[in-house]
Amino acid sequence: MRSFLLIVSLLLSFPIIAAEQALKRPTLEALFGEGALALERPSGMMWMPGGREILYRTTEGDDEVLWLEDVADGARRRIVSWSEMTEALKEQRPNFRRRSLSDVNTASNSRLKPTVSPDGQILVGSTAGDLFRLDLENGTARFLTGDGEPEFYPTFSPDGSSLAFVRFGDLYWMDVATGVVHRVTDRRNRDTITHGVAAWVYEEELGLGRSFWWSPDGTKLAFLQFDSAGVDIVPIADVSMPVPGLERQRYPKAGRPNPVARLGVIGIGGGDPVWIDVGDKDQYLPRAGWTPAGEVWFQRLSRDQTVLELLAADPVSGESRVLMTDRDDAWVNIGDDLHFLNDGRFLWTSERDGWNHLYLYSEDGTFEKQLTEGQWQVGGVAGLDESQSTVFFSANAEDLRQWHLYALDLQTGKRRLLGRDVGGSHRFRLAPDGQYLIDTWSSLDTPPRADLVETADGTVVRELWRSGAELEGWDLLPVESGVITTEEGIELHTQLIRPRDFDPAKK
Protein backbone atom coordinates (compact mmCIF):
# COMPACT_ATOMS: atom_id res chain seq x y z
CA MET A 1 0.00 0.00 0.00
CA ARG A 2 2.81 2.44 0.86
CA SER A 3 4.48 1.61 -2.48
CA PHE A 4 1.19 2.40 -4.22
CA LEU A 5 0.83 5.72 -2.38
CA LEU A 6 4.37 6.69 -3.35
CA ILE A 7 3.61 5.94 -7.00
CA VAL A 8 0.35 7.93 -6.85
CA SER A 9 2.20 10.86 -5.26
CA LEU A 10 4.75 10.82 -8.06
CA LEU A 11 2.09 10.58 -10.77
CA LEU A 12 0.17 13.53 -9.34
CA SER A 13 3.33 15.63 -9.43
CA PHE A 14 3.79 15.45 -13.24
CA PRO A 15 4.22 19.02 -14.50
CA ILE A 16 1.38 20.16 -16.74
CA ILE A 17 3.60 22.63 -18.58
CA ALA A 18 7.22 21.62 -19.00
CA ALA A 19 9.58 23.96 -17.18
CA GLU A 20 13.15 24.59 -18.14
CA GLN A 21 15.03 23.38 -15.11
CA ALA A 22 17.70 20.90 -14.14
CA LEU A 23 15.32 18.66 -12.19
CA LYS A 24 14.06 15.59 -14.02
CA ARG A 25 10.41 15.02 -14.79
CA PRO A 26 8.94 11.75 -13.51
CA THR A 27 7.79 9.42 -16.28
CA LEU A 28 5.85 6.18 -16.32
CA GLU A 29 9.01 4.38 -17.41
CA ALA A 30 10.92 5.85 -14.46
CA LEU A 31 8.17 4.76 -12.09
CA PHE A 32 7.51 1.27 -13.38
CA GLY A 33 10.60 0.36 -15.40
CA GLU A 34 14.21 -0.29 -14.47
CA GLY A 35 15.12 3.20 -13.34
CA ALA A 36 16.01 5.34 -10.39
CA LEU A 37 12.43 5.35 -9.13
CA ALA A 38 11.82 1.61 -9.45
CA LEU A 39 10.65 0.14 -6.14
CA GLU A 40 12.86 -2.94 -6.24
CA ARG A 41 13.27 -4.89 -3.02
CA PRO A 42 13.72 -8.43 -1.69
CA SER A 43 10.46 -10.36 -1.40
CA GLY A 44 9.05 -13.05 0.85
CA MET A 45 11.36 -12.02 3.69
CA MET A 46 11.04 -14.31 6.72
CA TRP A 47 13.04 -15.20 9.82
CA MET A 48 14.57 -18.64 10.10
CA PRO A 49 14.09 -20.64 13.33
CA GLY A 50 16.64 -19.50 15.90
CA GLY A 51 16.64 -15.93 14.63
CA ARG A 52 20.15 -15.98 13.16
CA GLU A 53 19.32 -16.04 9.44
CA ILE A 54 16.82 -14.34 7.12
CA LEU A 55 15.31 -16.05 4.08
CA TYR A 56 14.26 -13.98 1.06
CA ARG A 57 14.17 -13.94 -2.73
CA THR A 58 15.46 -11.47 -5.32
CA THR A 59 14.70 -10.92 -9.00
CA GLU A 60 17.50 -11.46 -11.50
CA GLY A 61 16.26 -10.74 -15.01
CA ASP A 62 13.41 -13.16 -15.68
CA ASP A 63 14.51 -15.46 -12.88
CA GLU A 64 14.19 -15.41 -9.10
CA VAL A 65 16.77 -16.51 -6.55
CA LEU A 66 16.36 -17.67 -2.96
CA TRP A 67 18.95 -16.47 -0.39
CA LEU A 68 19.85 -16.95 3.26
CA GLU A 69 21.51 -13.99 4.99
CA ASP A 70 23.49 -14.26 8.22
CA VAL A 71 22.35 -11.70 10.78
CA ALA A 72 25.74 -11.39 12.48
CA ASP A 73 27.87 -10.31 9.53
CA GLY A 74 25.46 -9.82 6.63
CA ALA A 75 27.01 -12.61 4.58
CA ARG A 76 24.45 -14.20 2.31
CA ARG A 77 24.32 -17.66 0.80
CA ARG A 78 22.62 -18.50 -2.48
CA ILE A 79 20.20 -21.42 -2.12
CA VAL A 80 18.69 -21.96 -5.57
CA SER A 81 17.08 -20.14 -8.47
CA TRP A 82 13.55 -20.87 -9.57
CA SER A 83 14.72 -22.04 -12.99
CA GLU A 84 17.13 -24.51 -11.37
CA MET A 85 14.43 -25.83 -9.07
CA THR A 86 12.01 -26.09 -11.98
CA GLU A 87 14.42 -28.28 -13.92
CA ALA A 88 14.90 -30.56 -10.92
CA LEU A 89 11.14 -30.93 -10.48
CA LYS A 90 10.66 -31.51 -14.22
CA GLU A 91 13.00 -34.49 -14.06
CA GLN A 92 10.64 -36.06 -11.53
CA ARG A 93 7.48 -34.99 -13.35
CA PRO A 94 7.88 -34.11 -17.06
CA ASN A 95 4.42 -32.47 -17.27
CA PHE A 96 5.22 -30.10 -14.42
CA ARG A 97 3.92 -26.59 -15.16
CA ARG A 98 6.41 -23.80 -14.50
CA ARG A 99 5.26 -21.09 -12.10
CA SER A 100 6.91 -18.12 -10.47
CA LEU A 101 8.93 -18.53 -7.28
CA SER A 102 6.62 -15.91 -5.80
CA ASP A 103 3.85 -18.50 -5.97
CA VAL A 104 5.71 -20.64 -3.45
CA ASN A 105 7.41 -17.95 -1.39
CA THR A 106 4.78 -15.38 -0.63
CA ALA A 107 2.73 -14.17 2.28
CA SER A 108 -0.10 -12.87 0.11
CA ASN A 109 -1.67 -16.28 -0.50
CA SER A 110 -1.91 -17.97 2.87
CA ARG A 111 -3.07 -21.29 1.42
CA LEU A 112 0.18 -21.66 -0.48
CA LYS A 113 2.45 -19.95 2.03
CA PRO A 114 5.62 -22.01 2.53
CA THR A 115 6.71 -23.32 5.89
CA VAL A 116 10.18 -24.00 7.28
CA SER A 117 10.95 -26.94 9.56
CA PRO A 118 11.75 -26.11 13.20
CA ASP A 119 15.41 -27.05 12.64
CA GLY A 120 15.66 -24.70 9.64
CA GLN A 121 16.78 -27.43 7.24
CA ILE A 122 13.70 -27.87 5.04
CA LEU A 123 11.28 -25.56 3.26
CA VAL A 124 7.96 -27.04 2.16
CA GLY A 125 5.94 -25.16 -0.43
CA SER A 126 3.19 -25.74 -2.95
CA THR A 127 3.42 -25.52 -6.72
CA ALA A 128 1.24 -26.88 -9.51
CA GLY A 129 -1.12 -28.08 -6.77
CA ASP A 130 1.38 -30.35 -5.04
CA LEU A 131 3.73 -30.02 -2.09
CA PHE A 132 7.47 -30.01 -2.64
CA ARG A 133 10.44 -30.16 -0.31
CA LEU A 134 13.47 -27.88 -0.72
CA ASP A 135 16.66 -28.70 1.17
CA LEU A 136 18.01 -25.32 2.32
CA GLU A 137 21.50 -26.70 2.81
CA ASN A 138 22.16 -27.86 -0.76
CA GLY A 139 19.23 -26.45 -2.77
CA THR A 140 17.87 -29.81 -3.94
CA ALA A 141 14.12 -30.15 -4.43
CA ARG A 142 11.64 -33.00 -4.82
CA PHE A 143 7.90 -33.46 -4.82
CA LEU A 144 6.22 -34.75 -1.67
CA THR A 145 2.75 -35.31 -3.15
CA GLY A 146 1.31 -36.03 -6.57
CA ASP A 147 -2.21 -37.37 -6.18
CA GLY A 148 -4.00 -34.88 -8.43
CA GLU A 149 -5.69 -33.00 -5.60
CA PRO A 150 -4.21 -29.67 -4.45
CA GLU A 151 -2.79 -29.47 -0.92
CA PHE A 152 -3.02 -26.35 1.23
CA TYR A 153 -1.58 -24.97 4.47
CA PRO A 154 1.47 -27.23 4.99
CA THR A 155 2.33 -26.95 8.70
CA PHE A 156 5.10 -28.69 10.65
CA SER A 157 4.50 -30.21 14.06
CA PRO A 158 6.43 -28.54 16.92
CA ASP A 159 9.26 -31.11 16.72
CA GLY A 160 9.33 -31.12 12.90
CA SER A 161 8.72 -34.85 12.54
CA SER A 162 5.25 -34.48 11.00
CA LEU A 163 3.65 -32.24 8.39
CA ALA A 164 -0.09 -31.56 8.41
CA PHE A 165 -2.04 -30.20 5.44
CA VAL A 166 -5.52 -30.00 3.91
CA ARG A 167 -6.49 -32.01 0.84
CA PHE A 168 -9.98 -31.82 -0.70
CA GLY A 169 -11.61 -30.64 2.51
CA ASP A 170 -9.94 -33.14 4.85
CA LEU A 171 -6.92 -33.15 7.15
CA TYR A 172 -3.86 -35.29 6.46
CA TRP A 173 -0.42 -35.60 7.99
CA MET A 174 2.86 -36.87 6.58
CA ASP A 175 5.74 -38.57 8.34
CA VAL A 176 8.62 -36.33 7.26
CA ALA A 177 11.21 -39.11 7.54
CA THR A 178 9.34 -41.71 5.46
CA GLY A 179 7.01 -39.58 3.34
CA VAL A 180 4.05 -41.78 4.30
CA VAL A 181 0.75 -39.86 4.30
CA HIS A 182 -2.04 -40.57 6.81
CA ARG A 183 -5.63 -39.38 6.63
CA VAL A 184 -6.94 -37.70 9.80
CA THR A 185 -10.55 -36.69 9.05
CA ASP A 186 -13.15 -38.08 6.64
CA ARG A 187 -16.01 -35.95 5.39
CA ARG A 188 -17.43 -39.02 3.58
CA ASN A 189 -18.00 -37.31 0.25
CA ARG A 190 -20.31 -34.70 1.76
CA ASP A 191 -19.47 -31.62 -0.29
CA THR A 192 -20.98 -29.26 2.29
CA ILE A 193 -18.41 -30.20 4.95
CA THR A 194 -14.77 -29.16 5.20
CA HIS A 195 -12.14 -29.80 7.86
CA GLY A 196 -9.19 -27.51 8.59
CA VAL A 197 -9.94 -24.94 5.90
CA ALA A 198 -12.22 -21.99 6.61
CA ALA A 199 -15.62 -21.53 5.01
CA TRP A 200 -15.91 -18.56 2.68
CA VAL A 201 -17.53 -16.17 5.17
CA TYR A 202 -14.81 -16.93 7.75
CA GLU A 203 -11.98 -16.45 5.27
CA GLU A 204 -13.40 -13.32 3.65
CA GLU A 205 -15.00 -11.52 6.59
CA LEU A 206 -13.17 -12.80 9.68
CA GLY A 207 -9.66 -13.22 8.27
CA LEU A 208 -9.41 -16.93 9.12
CA GLY A 209 -7.64 -19.23 6.68
CA ARG A 210 -5.84 -22.24 8.11
CA SER A 211 -8.22 -23.83 10.60
CA PHE A 212 -6.12 -26.51 12.30
CA TRP A 213 -3.47 -26.34 15.02
CA TRP A 214 -0.87 -28.79 16.33
CA SER A 215 -0.89 -29.62 20.04
CA PRO A 216 2.33 -28.70 21.89
CA ASP A 217 3.40 -32.37 22.01
CA GLY A 218 2.63 -32.95 18.32
CA THR A 219 0.26 -35.89 18.90
CA LYS A 220 -3.08 -34.15 18.26
CA LEU A 221 -4.69 -31.64 15.96
CA ALA A 222 -7.37 -29.18 16.95
CA PHE A 223 -9.47 -28.24 13.93
CA LEU A 224 -12.63 -26.49 12.83
CA GLN A 225 -15.30 -28.33 10.88
CA PHE A 226 -17.61 -26.22 8.70
CA ASP A 227 -20.99 -27.48 7.47
CA SER A 228 -22.64 -25.30 4.81
CA ALA A 229 -25.69 -27.52 4.26
CA GLY A 230 -28.06 -24.84 5.54
CA VAL A 231 -26.54 -21.98 3.55
CA ASP A 232 -28.61 -20.64 0.64
CA ILE A 233 -27.56 -21.52 -2.90
CA VAL A 234 -27.55 -18.40 -5.07
CA PRO A 235 -26.66 -17.76 -8.73
CA ILE A 236 -23.52 -15.64 -9.14
CA ALA A 237 -22.31 -14.19 -12.43
CA ASP A 238 -18.99 -15.65 -13.58
CA VAL A 239 -17.32 -12.78 -15.45
CA SER A 240 -13.95 -14.53 -15.74
CA MET A 241 -14.92 -16.13 -19.06
CA PRO A 242 -15.22 -14.38 -22.47
CA VAL A 243 -18.95 -15.19 -22.39
CA PRO A 244 -20.16 -14.67 -18.79
CA GLY A 245 -22.26 -17.40 -17.26
CA LEU A 246 -23.95 -18.23 -13.99
CA GLU A 247 -22.41 -20.27 -11.22
CA ARG A 248 -24.56 -21.57 -8.39
CA GLN A 249 -22.86 -21.64 -5.03
CA ARG A 250 -23.63 -21.44 -1.33
CA TYR A 251 -23.52 -17.80 -0.29
CA PRO A 252 -24.62 -16.62 3.18
CA LYS A 253 -26.82 -13.54 3.24
CA ALA A 254 -27.47 -11.17 6.14
CA GLY A 255 -29.98 -12.73 8.50
CA ARG A 256 -29.86 -16.09 6.71
CA PRO A 257 -28.04 -19.25 7.91
CA ASN A 258 -24.24 -19.21 8.09
CA PRO A 259 -22.02 -22.31 7.93
CA VAL A 260 -22.18 -24.19 11.23
CA ALA A 261 -18.75 -24.42 12.87
CA ARG A 262 -17.61 -27.15 15.26
CA LEU A 263 -14.28 -27.36 17.06
CA GLY A 264 -12.74 -30.81 17.36
CA VAL A 265 -9.58 -32.48 18.66
CA ILE A 266 -8.26 -35.65 17.05
CA GLY A 267 -5.15 -37.77 17.56
CA ILE A 268 -2.96 -38.29 14.52
CA GLY A 269 -2.81 -41.99 15.37
CA GLY A 270 -6.49 -42.41 14.49
CA GLY A 271 -9.83 -42.56 16.26
CA ASP A 272 -12.87 -40.31 16.48
CA PRO A 273 -12.59 -36.61 17.27
CA VAL A 274 -13.52 -35.10 20.62
CA TRP A 275 -15.99 -32.30 19.96
CA ILE A 276 -15.53 -29.22 22.13
CA ASP A 277 -18.58 -27.65 23.77
CA VAL A 278 -18.78 -24.34 21.88
CA GLY A 279 -22.38 -23.43 22.72
CA ASP A 280 -24.96 -22.08 20.28
CA LYS A 281 -24.69 -22.94 16.56
CA ASP A 282 -25.65 -19.47 15.32
CA GLN A 283 -22.37 -17.76 16.18
CA TYR A 284 -18.79 -17.49 14.95
CA LEU A 285 -15.62 -19.27 16.09
CA PRO A 286 -13.08 -16.88 14.52
CA ARG A 287 -9.87 -18.06 16.28
CA ALA A 288 -8.53 -21.12 18.11
CA GLY A 289 -5.29 -22.76 19.23
CA TRP A 290 -3.48 -24.38 22.15
CA THR A 291 -2.24 -23.02 25.46
CA PRO A 292 1.31 -23.89 26.59
CA ALA A 293 -0.26 -26.25 29.17
CA GLY A 294 -2.03 -28.29 26.47
CA GLU A 295 -5.58 -26.92 26.72
CA VAL A 296 -7.52 -25.78 23.67
CA TRP A 297 -8.48 -22.11 23.56
CA PHE A 298 -10.99 -20.55 21.21
CA GLN A 299 -12.83 -17.30 20.63
CA ARG A 300 -16.62 -17.15 20.41
CA LEU A 301 -18.24 -14.19 18.66
CA SER A 302 -21.98 -13.46 18.73
CA ARG A 303 -23.81 -13.32 15.41
CA ASP A 304 -24.31 -9.56 15.76
CA GLN A 305 -20.59 -9.22 16.62
CA THR A 306 -21.15 -7.30 19.86
CA VAL A 307 -19.89 -9.98 22.30
CA LEU A 308 -16.48 -11.65 22.03
CA GLU A 309 -15.51 -14.37 24.51
CA LEU A 310 -12.27 -16.24 25.11
CA LEU A 311 -12.75 -19.82 26.28
CA ALA A 312 -10.50 -22.71 27.32
CA ALA A 313 -11.42 -26.38 26.86
CA ASP A 314 -10.26 -29.81 27.99
CA PRO A 315 -9.12 -31.69 24.85
CA VAL A 316 -10.11 -35.04 26.41
CA SER A 317 -13.60 -34.32 27.76
CA GLY A 318 -14.52 -31.40 25.51
CA GLU A 319 -15.73 -29.32 28.46
CA SER A 320 -15.16 -25.58 28.09
CA ARG A 321 -15.20 -22.51 30.32
CA VAL A 322 -15.24 -18.76 29.67
CA LEU A 323 -12.01 -16.93 30.57
CA MET A 324 -12.97 -13.37 29.67
CA THR A 325 -15.52 -11.35 27.70
CA ASP A 326 -15.41 -8.17 25.63
CA ARG A 327 -18.67 -6.33 24.89
CA ASP A 328 -19.65 -3.30 22.85
CA ASP A 329 -23.14 -2.09 21.98
CA ALA A 330 -22.03 -1.35 18.42
CA TRP A 331 -19.21 -3.68 17.38
CA VAL A 332 -16.32 -5.77 18.72
CA ASN A 333 -13.26 -6.17 16.52
CA ILE A 334 -11.39 -9.46 16.48
CA GLY A 335 -7.62 -9.73 16.09
CA ASP A 336 -4.59 -11.95 16.36
CA ASP A 337 -2.98 -10.44 19.44
CA LEU A 338 -3.76 -13.13 22.01
CA HIS A 339 -0.43 -14.33 23.45
CA PHE A 340 -0.05 -16.86 26.26
CA LEU A 341 2.88 -16.71 28.67
CA ASN A 342 4.47 -19.93 29.88
CA ASP A 343 2.96 -19.43 33.35
CA GLY A 344 -0.56 -19.44 31.86
CA ARG A 345 -1.20 -15.70 31.93
CA PHE A 346 -2.17 -14.10 28.65
CA LEU A 347 -2.08 -10.79 26.78
CA TRP A 348 -5.19 -9.44 25.09
CA THR A 349 -5.95 -6.33 23.07
CA SER A 350 -9.26 -4.52 23.48
CA GLU A 351 -10.94 -1.27 22.43
CA ARG A 352 -13.01 -1.12 25.63
CA ASP A 353 -11.76 2.36 26.58
CA GLY A 354 -12.19 3.73 23.05
CA TRP A 355 -8.63 2.97 21.95
CA ASN A 356 -7.02 -0.38 21.18
CA HIS A 357 -4.71 -1.23 24.10
CA LEU A 358 -2.91 -4.13 25.78
CA TYR A 359 -4.28 -5.94 28.83
CA LEU A 360 -2.85 -8.69 31.03
CA TYR A 361 -4.95 -11.52 32.50
CA SER A 362 -4.19 -14.35 34.90
CA GLU A 363 -4.45 -18.00 33.86
CA ASP A 364 -8.07 -18.28 35.08
CA GLY A 365 -9.12 -15.13 33.22
CA THR A 366 -8.92 -12.71 36.15
CA PHE A 367 -8.04 -9.20 35.01
CA GLU A 368 -4.60 -8.13 36.27
CA LYS A 369 -3.81 -4.77 34.68
CA GLN A 370 -3.95 -2.53 31.65
CA LEU A 371 -0.47 -2.39 30.10
CA THR A 372 -0.89 0.57 27.71
CA GLU A 373 -3.20 3.56 27.77
CA GLY A 374 -3.68 6.90 26.07
CA GLN A 375 -5.36 8.43 23.05
CA TRP A 376 -3.48 6.27 20.58
CA GLN A 377 -3.78 2.75 19.18
CA VAL A 378 -1.84 -0.48 19.62
CA GLY A 379 -1.53 -1.84 16.09
CA GLY A 380 -0.56 -5.37 17.05
CA VAL A 381 1.67 -7.56 19.19
CA ALA A 382 4.87 -8.49 17.36
CA GLY A 383 6.04 -11.02 19.95
CA LEU A 384 7.22 -11.78 23.47
CA ASP A 385 10.57 -12.28 25.17
CA GLU A 386 9.65 -13.90 28.48
CA SER A 387 13.27 -14.16 29.57
CA GLN A 388 13.36 -10.36 29.61
CA SER A 389 9.69 -9.94 30.64
CA THR A 390 9.17 -7.88 27.49
CA VAL A 391 6.36 -7.56 24.96
CA PHE A 392 6.98 -5.98 21.56
CA PHE A 393 4.12 -4.13 19.89
CA SER A 394 3.41 -1.56 17.20
CA ALA A 395 1.56 1.66 18.02
CA ASN A 396 0.99 5.22 16.84
CA ALA A 397 1.81 6.78 20.21
CA GLU A 398 4.16 9.41 18.75
CA ASP A 399 1.87 10.55 15.94
CA LEU A 400 -1.50 9.06 14.94
CA ARG A 401 -0.30 9.05 11.32
CA GLN A 402 2.80 6.98 12.04
CA TRP A 403 3.47 3.44 13.27
CA HIS A 404 6.49 2.55 15.39
CA LEU A 405 7.62 -0.49 17.36
CA TYR A 406 7.96 -0.43 21.13
CA ALA A 407 9.27 -2.72 23.85
CA LEU A 408 7.30 -2.76 27.09
CA ASP A 409 8.46 -4.21 30.41
CA LEU A 410 5.63 -6.35 31.82
CA GLN A 411 6.81 -5.69 35.38
CA THR A 412 7.38 -1.93 35.37
CA GLY A 413 5.11 -0.90 32.49
CA LYS A 414 7.88 1.23 30.97
CA ARG A 415 7.97 1.35 27.19
CA ARG A 416 10.76 2.37 24.83
CA LEU A 417 10.92 3.12 21.12
CA LEU A 418 12.85 0.73 18.88
CA GLY A 419 14.55 1.49 15.57
CA ARG A 420 15.08 4.85 13.91
CA ASP A 421 13.33 7.77 15.58
CA VAL A 422 12.06 9.07 12.26
CA GLY A 423 8.61 9.72 10.86
CA GLY A 424 6.70 7.50 8.50
CA SER A 425 5.14 4.09 8.87
CA HIS A 426 7.06 1.09 10.15
CA ARG A 427 6.27 -2.63 9.76
CA PHE A 428 8.08 -5.25 11.79
CA ARG A 429 9.18 -8.86 11.75
CA LEU A 430 10.50 -9.98 15.14
CA ALA A 431 13.10 -12.76 15.28
CA PRO A 432 11.92 -15.97 17.00
CA ASP A 433 14.27 -15.38 19.94
CA GLY A 434 13.35 -11.70 20.22
CA GLN A 435 16.94 -10.47 19.87
CA TYR A 436 16.53 -8.71 16.51
CA LEU A 437 13.76 -7.31 14.37
CA ILE A 438 13.41 -6.24 10.76
CA ASP A 439 12.01 -2.70 10.52
CA THR A 440 10.60 -1.97 7.04
CA TRP A 441 9.68 1.68 6.79
CA SER A 442 9.02 4.60 4.49
CA SER A 443 7.80 8.18 4.71
CA LEU A 444 6.59 10.89 2.37
CA ASP A 445 10.16 11.77 1.42
CA THR A 446 11.89 8.41 2.04
CA PRO A 447 11.29 5.43 -0.28
CA PRO A 448 10.87 2.00 1.37
CA ARG A 449 13.89 0.51 3.13
CA ALA A 450 14.56 -2.04 5.87
CA ASP A 451 16.81 -1.94 8.94
CA LEU A 452 18.08 -4.68 11.22
CA VAL A 453 17.42 -3.53 14.80
CA GLU A 454 18.74 -4.94 18.07
CA THR A 455 15.86 -5.09 20.54
CA ALA A 456 18.01 -4.85 23.69
CA ASP A 457 18.74 -1.16 23.15
CA GLY A 458 16.75 -0.35 20.00
CA THR A 459 19.81 0.54 17.93
CA VAL A 460 20.02 -0.02 14.18
CA VAL A 461 22.65 -2.68 13.47
CA ARG A 462 22.70 -2.03 9.74
CA GLU A 463 20.53 -1.31 6.75
CA LEU A 464 19.32 -4.54 5.14
CA TRP A 465 18.09 -3.04 1.89
CA ARG A 466 16.66 0.05 0.29
CA SER A 467 14.36 0.19 -2.71
CA GLY A 468 16.79 2.05 -4.95
CA ALA A 469 14.21 4.74 -5.60
CA GLU A 470 16.14 7.96 -4.99
CA LEU A 471 13.99 11.12 -5.02
CA GLU A 472 16.86 13.62 -5.18
CA GLY A 473 17.05 15.32 -8.56
CA TRP A 474 13.40 14.76 -9.45
CA ASP A 475 10.90 17.58 -9.89
CA LEU A 476 8.29 16.46 -7.36
CA LEU A 477 5.50 18.51 -5.84
CA PRO A 478 5.31 18.79 -2.05
CA VAL A 479 2.78 16.86 0.01
CA GLU A 480 0.89 19.04 2.48
CA SER A 481 -0.39 17.41 5.68
CA GLY A 482 -3.36 18.82 7.53
CA VAL A 483 -6.26 18.11 9.87
CA ILE A 484 -10.01 18.48 9.36
CA THR A 485 -12.10 18.52 12.54
CA THR A 486 -15.67 17.22 12.23
CA GLU A 487 -18.70 18.62 14.07
CA GLU A 488 -18.27 15.80 16.59
CA GLY A 489 -14.72 16.95 17.32
CA ILE A 490 -13.09 14.04 15.49
CA GLU A 491 -9.79 14.90 13.81
CA LEU A 492 -9.36 13.55 10.27
CA HIS A 493 -5.78 13.68 8.97
CA THR A 494 -5.35 14.70 5.34
CA GLN A 495 -2.68 14.85 2.66
CA LEU A 496 -2.89 17.25 -0.27
CA ILE A 497 -0.86 17.54 -3.49
CA ARG A 498 -1.76 20.71 -5.38
CA PRO A 499 -1.54 20.97 -9.19
CA ARG A 500 1.67 22.59 -10.38
CA ASP A 501 -0.17 25.64 -11.75
CA PHE A 502 -2.55 25.88 -8.78
CA ASP A 503 -4.08 29.33 -8.27
CA PRO A 504 -6.13 29.67 -5.05
CA ALA A 505 -7.99 32.61 -6.59
CA LYS A 506 -9.46 30.41 -9.32
CA LYS A 507 -12.31 27.90 -9.06
pLDDT digits (tens, 9 = 90+) for 267-320: 999 899 999 999 999 999 999 999 999 999 999 999 999 999 999 999 999 999
Residue at 228 is within a domain: no
Give the angle 160-161-167 at the CA atoms, nearest 5°: 90
pTM greater than the 0.75 cutoff:
yes
Domain span at 62:
38-148
Residue at 427 is within a domain: no
Residue at 115 is within a domain: yes
All residues at 6 or more sequence positions from 95 whose CB lies less than 8 Å from its CB, including other chains: none
CA distance 420 to 263: 44
pLDDT higher than 90, residue 11: no
Number of domains in the chain: 1
| C-alpha dihedral sign at 322, 325, 330, 332 | negative
Residue at 381 is within a domain: no
Residue at 113 is within a domain: yes
Give the angle 150-276-365 at the CA atoms, nearest 5°: 115
Highest mean pLDDT (candidates 91-105, 172-186, 420-434, 450-464): 172-186
pLDDT higher than 90, residue 185: yes
Residue at 317 is within a domain: no
User: What was the pLDDT predicted at 38?
Assistant: 63
CA distance 335 to 354: 16
pLDDT digits (tens, 9 = 90+) for 348-403: 999 999 999 999 999 999 999 999 999 999 999 999 999 889 999 999 999 888 99
Residue at 62 is within a domain: yes
Residue at 251 is within a domain: no
Phi first, then psi: give them for residue 486, nearest 5 degrees. -80, 175
